[in-house]
Amino acid sequence: MTAKVVYTGGLRTSATHLRSGSVIETDAPVDNHGKGERFSPTDLVAAALATCILTTLGIGSDTHNINIDGAECLVEKIMASNPRRISELKVELSFPKSAPFTHKEKQIIEHTAHTCPVTQSLHPDLVLTMAFNWPAE
């Protein structure tokens, strides 16, 4: 088992990671009867994508000796209705100004971002756009 999730009332849940005990609380979004005071379940999908991209980049960067420390990922979730679902995720990656990246390093980073496990798990109808902001050389 990965997690135990408990409905705590008021459109909220508490998810406990069974191995570590780490807890994430969710709340329904304001546009769907909630208070929007925590991540919504669909926000977690967007956050999972961003964290997966950065984690996978970290693994690849260690393998190829590329420094991405300080890299940031902004993610925007766009919802659709009928049925209610995530229709688009917009990802913007920004990299540190510590050193310029070679053309080959940029290719490795972009390929890795586009092939992380969460990216590969998204429905093919979901629109996924990624922008890469490289430091000025």
**pLDDT value of residue 97:** 81
- pLDDT for 26 beyond 90: yes
Contacts of 7 (CB under 8 A, 6+ apart): 13
Q: Tell me the per-residue pLDDT of 46-76, one tens digit each, with 9 for 90 and over.
A: 999 999 999 999 999 999 999 999 999 999 9
Read off the pLDDT of residues 14-25 as tens digits, 9 standing for 90 and up. 999 999 999 999
Which residues, 6 or more positions from 79, have their beta carbon under 8 angstroms from its beta carbon? 31, 42, 85, 86, 87
d(CA 55, CA 131): 17
Instruction: Name the more confident of 135 and 121.
Output: 121
C-beta separation of 84 from 32 below 8 A = yes
